Amino acid sequence: MIDISSNQDTPPRIRRRQTLALVLLVVTGVINYLDRATLAVANEYIRADLGLSLGQMGLLLSAFSWSYALCQLPVGALVDKIGPRWLLGMGLVIWSLAQAAGGLVSTFGWFVLARVVLGIGEAPQFPAAARVVSNWFPPRSRGTPTGIFNSASPLGVALAPLCLAPLIAATSWHWAFFVTGGMGLVAAVVWVALYRDPVRDQLTAEERAYLDAGQAAEEAPKTGLSSWGALFKHRATWGMLLGFSGSVYLNWVYLTWLPGYLRTERHMDLAYSGLAASIPFFCGFAGALIAGWASDRVAKLAASPVSGRRNAVVASMLGMVAFTIPAALVESNTVAVACISIVIFLANASSACSWSLATVVAPRSRIASLGAIQNFGGFLGGAMAPILTGYIAQTWSFVPALLTGAGIAFLGAMSYLFLVTRPILEEK
C-alpha cells in the first residue's frame, strides 16, 4: 500500500486530514473530467441533433479550453488569497450549473457559451488541489498526493464512455449533462462542509514540525519576488508555462481525437473503438499514481527537489515523444493502441510530476499562482490541439498530425530541462 505522506512519523490527526482532502480532490476531479468528456462521448448524437458540421464540433470541443486557460492566471492568485475551500466550492457550483445548461441548449451559439462558462468554473480545480497538497504535506512528500489528485483526470476520461454511453442510449444526450451537473452540485456541498486548511495556532508542536520539515532545503538566494506578476520575471516560470503547453498539447490530441482517429484512420468499428479508446486512459490513471509515488523517491536522491522533479517531467515527456512515433506509423492496430496507452500513461505521469514541481519551485505564498500559470500554458496547448489536429488530418492525414504533436512535446521537454533550474523565493 502506498503511504500518501511518504513518512511513517506523520501525526495521526494530520494523516486523517490528508486522507480526507485527497478523497475529496479525487471525487471532485473525476466529476470535473466527466463533465469535460461528456461532449466527446455524446459527439455524434449532438452533431446529428443540432446539425453541426465537423468544423463547428472542433470549435465546440476547444471552447472550454480557451476560457479555462485564460482563467488560470487570475484563479491561481485568488486561490492563494482566498484559499482552496471557498474558491473550489464556488467553482463547483458554477461549472455544475454550466454543465446542466449544456443539456438544455438547442443552438450552436448557446452551446459554446455553456462550454465557456464550464471552463471558467472548472479553472480552480487543479490550482486549489496544488494548494491543498502544499498546505497538508511537507515538500519532499508532495509527489505521491499530487499523483493521487492528478489520477482523477484520466480516471474521469476512462469512466466517461463506460458510464455515460449507456445513459445516453437509455435516455438522450441531454441527460448525460443533467446527471453530471447534479453530481457536481452535491460535491460542492460536501467539499465546503468537510474541507479545512490547517490553522497553525491549532496545531501541536509535533504537527507544525512535520508540516515544516524540509522547508529549509528549499531556500535559495533572494530573488526579489514581491508580487504575483513578478513570477514572470523568472525563467523557471516560462520554462514551466512552455513545457506544460507541449505536454498537454500531445495529451489533448488523444483526449479529443482518439475515438475519431481509431475509426477514421484505423478503420475500427464503433464498439471496438470505444473499448480501445478507454484502455489508454485507465493506463493514464495508473501513470499518475505511480509517477507521484516515484517522484518522491527520485526527489530524495536528487541534488535538489527542483532538479529531481524536473527530470521526472522531462523523462516522461521524452517517452511520450518516443512512443507517439510508432503509434502514428505502425500498421498493426494492436501495436498502435499499446503505444498510445504508453503515451497516455506517460502523459499523466508527466502531469503529476509537473504539478509537484510547482510546489517546490514556487515560494510558499505563490504555489497556486505558479501552478496556475503552468496550467495556463498547458491549456493554450490543449486549446490548439483539437483545431490543429483536425486541420492537419483533414488536409493530409492523422500521421503528420500525431508527429506534429510529438514535435511540440519534444520542445516542451527541452523548455523544462533548460529553463527550470532553481526555485523562486519570495523577497524577505
Least confident of 112-121, 163-172, 239-248, 315-324: 163-172
pLDDT of residue 255: 85
Residue type, 184: G
Return the C-alpha cell found at 341: 496507452
pLDDT level of residue 199 (50, 70, 90 thresholds): very high
CA distance 49 to 229: 45
- Which pLDDT score, from 0 to 100, does residue 270 have? 59
pLDDT tens track for 248-261: 999 999 988 887 78
Whether the predicted model's global pTM rises above the 0.75 cut = yes
For the cut 60, the answer to whether the pLDDT of residue 62 exceeds it is yes
Q: How far is CA 225 from CA 28, 108, 167, in A?
A: 33, 45, 51
> Cβ(2)–Cβ(143) under 8 Å?
no
Rounded to the nearest 10 degrees, the angle between the axes of helix 333-361 and helix 143-150 is 130
H/E stretch holding 163 reads helix 152-170
The whole-number pLDDT of residue 221 equals: 42
pLDDT at 428: 56
Q: What percentage of the chain exceeds 70 in pLDDT?
A: 93
d(CA 287, CA 348): 6
- Predicted confidence at residue 9, as pLDDT, reads 81
Mean pLDDT of 19-45: 93
Other Cβ atoms less than 10 A from the Cβ of 53: the count is 10
Q: How confident is the model at residue 131 (pLDDT cuts 50, 70, 90)?
A: very high
Nearest alpha carbon to residue 181 among 65, 102, 126: 102
Mean pLDDT of the chain: 89
